[in-house]
Amino acid sequence: MSKTAAIIGGGVIGGGWAARFLLNGWDVQVFDPDPQAERKIGEVLANARRSLPGLTDVALPPEGKLTYHASIAEAVAGADWIQESVPERLEIKHATFAEVQAACAPDAVIGSSTSGFKPSELQQGAARPEQIMVAHPFNPVYLLPLIELVTTSADEGLVEKAKEMLTSLGMYPLHLKKEIDAHVADRFLEAVWREALWLVKDGIATTEEIDNAIRYGFGIRWAQMGLFETYRVAGGEAGMKHFMAQFGPALKWPWTKLMDVPDFTDELVDLIAGQSDEQSGAYSIRELERARDNNLVTMMRGLKAENWGAGALLNAQEREMRVGTVHGAVAADLPADALVETAYRTVPLDWTDYNGHMTESRYLQAFADATDRFMAIIGCDAEYISSGGSYFTAETHIRHIDEVHAGALITIRTRVIMGEGKKMHLFHEMYEGERLLATGEHFLLHVSLETRKPTPPAAHIEEALVRFAKGHAALPQAEGVGRAIGAPR
């Protein structure tokens, strides 16, 4: 059953929330008095549609329905989640919450995107204060998973509901039970920002030099290990105690000016703006957004391969997405006389080449992933492989039939040409809708991971494989099976 989210305020953050919900199958109802709201949200959605679906190796659910409404009361009607993203003025937020609570369901989650106000401040004068909580995201909301979920005097049932909903969206709810101005992450950002302003003002570094210090250095480390784990590693084998003993005294040295703020004089503003224009002025904001999204998708998919940080979060989301679908099935759940759907996914941005279509190596990856999925279906899963048996590919033949572009929703259907003893012969067909894109033919041998030599598989694996081989033998022959590149006469 479809869930409904109400978005109150459709700027960059509200639009990002709308995209995150919509692309995860929720219906989204928007209220924003700005006459440009639909255009602005549309532009955010365009960025989200080209980047978010490619994060996971399982396709997102069908996109929900997006509607715009003339009043808050209309927008929140029937909503399970209501996200407030209005300007950072407390009186505006209080008036918004009053209208929301007058019309919404009492068991709906009301989250605020506020980056600075505490939940106790937001709840002042509210009809049901326990219904309101801070749900502070990070831009772009449709890609970055962190949500600072700050709750005081909250309904515990609603808090758990909020955490479950955010997790289902592929987000990470960092639940903070103690409130503080600007929560946690923005306090770090402000500290770095404050120091950077002094470095520019004092002529120590330009905006570009400061950005380079971050993106070529500690920014990469922080993206996968955070702060404390990074410093634990820096302490060597002795760990955090050694690091603190070695570098702790430096905290008393007068290195930083974190407690002072430079005056935002016209001179300083012009200096920073001028350097920023020189650094990035060759690109439009939309071009920078697309570059940012491309890089975020690529980095997060790299972490996904390592099952680390934000990548581990994506893997957990995929496992939940597979539950109850054909992609979570085992052999006994599937008919033997039908092709097996082994992939249903979106082609990510980093799978394309200089010609603007999917690069050759990614066809192999897509088919290899389909083989891995089929192996899991017949029982050669991670647990079985850890016990010492697996399949090794001996030969592969791929036919590139039609172009595949980033964002394409592809399906791979697999047939067993032969399955007996140590041998497994598979034929994959890749489609976008009804359009055949490519085929992959693969011959594999079951091996012992101890001896690295062919051995018979476990009985339950061979039984499942033979069952599919017999069922698929009755199907019409697929075009291209056994095809090879012929030598010129």
- Sorted by where each begins, the domain ranges of the chain are 4-182, 186-282, 326-473
Q: How confident is residue 257, by pLDDT bands cut at 50, 70 and 90? A: low
State residue 317's pLDDT score: 92
**Predicted local confidence at residue 35, as pLDDT:** 94
Rounded distance between C-alpha atoms, residue 413 and residue 434, angstroms: 12
Which pLDDT belongs to residue 488?
64
The CATH H-level superfamily of 4-182 is NAD(P)-binding Rossmann-like Domain (3.40.50.720)
pLDDT score recorded for residue 104: 97
pLDDT at 258: 61
Q: According to the model, what pLDDT value does residue 205 have?
A: 96
Helix (H, G, I), strand (E, B) or coil at 466: helix
CA distance 53 to 60: 6
Q: Are the C-beta atoms of 116 and 88 separated by less than 8 Å?
A: yes
pLDDT attached to residue 332:
84
Is residue 329's pLDDT more than 80?
no
Given pLDDT bands bounded at 50, 70 and 90, which one contains residue 475? very high
Cα 174 to Cα 226: distance, rounded to the nearest angstrom: 14
DSSP 399: E
Contacts of 128-131 with C-beta under 8 Å, sequence gap 24+, read: 128/101, 129/153, 130/154, 130/155, 130/158, 131/101, 131/106, 131/155, 131/158
pLDDT digits (tens, 9 = 90+) for 144-180: 999 999 998 778 899 999 999 999 999 999 999 999 9
pLDDT band for 389, please (50, 70, 90 cuts): very high
User: Beta 109-112 vs 132-136: how paired, if at all?
Assistant: parallel
Answer whether residue 248 shows pLDDT above 80.
no
Encode pLDDT of 411-469 as tens digits. Answer: 999 999 999 899 999 999 999 999 999 999 999 999 999 999 999 999 999 999 999 99
Q: What is the pLDDT of residue 215?
A: 92
Residue 89 pLDDT more than 90? yes
Place of tokens 């017949």: 378
Quick one: how many helices (H) and strands (E) in the chain?
A: 17, 13
Percent of the chain having pLDDT more than 90? Answer: 77
| Prediction pTM value | 0.88
* 239 alpha carbon, distance to own chain's centre: 31
Query: What is the predicted pLDDT for the residue at 181?
Result: 92
239 is in an annotated binding site: no
The closest of 133, 187, 15, 176 to 85, measured between CA atoms, is 15
Percentages helix, strand, coil for the chain (3-state, rounded to 5) are 45, 20, 35
Predicted confidence band at 256 (pLDDT cuts at 50, 70, 90)? low
pLDDT, residue 152, reads 87
- Per-residue pLDDT, averaged over 12-20, amounts to 97
Half-sphere exposure of 244 (CA within 13 A, CB side): 7
Q: Is 480 annotated as a binding residue?
A: no
Highest-confidence range of 259-263, 286-290, 316-320, 360-364, by mean pLDDT?
A: 360-364
Q: For the ranges 81-90, 112-121, 149-158, 163-172, which has the lowest average pLDDT?
A: 149-158
Task: Report the pLDDT value the prediction gives residue 1, as an integer from 0 to 100.
Answer: 60
CA pair distance 112, 85, nearest whole angstrom: 6
Q: Please tell me the predicted confidence (pLDDT) of residue 330.
A: 79
- Give me 382's structure tokens: 């991670």
Question: Residue 268: its pLDDT value, please?
Answer: 87
Q: For a pLDDT cut of 70, what percent of the chain falls above it? A: 98
Task: Order across the sheet with 423-432: list the strands.
Answer: 340-346, 409-420, 423-432, 435-448, 389-400
**pLDDT digit string, tens, across residues 214-239:** 999 999 999 888 988 888 888 888 88
Residue 141 known to bind ligand: no
Supply the pLDDT for residue 309: 92
Structural fold of domain 186-282? N-(1-d-carboxylethyl)-l-norvaline Dehydrogenase; domain 2 (1.10.1040)
Of the listed ranges 16-20, 77-81, 478-482, the least confidently predicted one is 478-482
13 annotated to a ligand binding site: yes
Q: Is 21 a residue whose pLDDT tops 70?
A: yes
Q: 203 a known binding residue? A: no
The pLDDT score that the predictor gives to residue 259 is 66
From the list 149, 155, 124, 119, the residue with the least C-alpha distance to 137 is 149
Going by C-alpha positions, the residue among 406, 395, 353, 404 that lies closest to residue 482 is 395
Q: What is the pLDDT of residue 32?
A: 97
Q: What is the per-residue pLDDT across 37-74, written as a single tens digit (0 to 9) for each? A: 999 999 999 999 999 999 999 999 999 999 999 999 99
How many residues in the chain?
Answer: 489
Average pLDDT of the chain to the nearest whole number: 92
pLDDT in tens, 340-367: 999 999 999 889 999 989 999 999 999 9
Confidence of residue 111 (pLDDT cuts 50, 70, 90): very high
- 11 annotated binding-site participant: yes
Superfamily in which the 326-473 domain is placed by CATH: Hotdog Thioesterase (3.10.129.10)
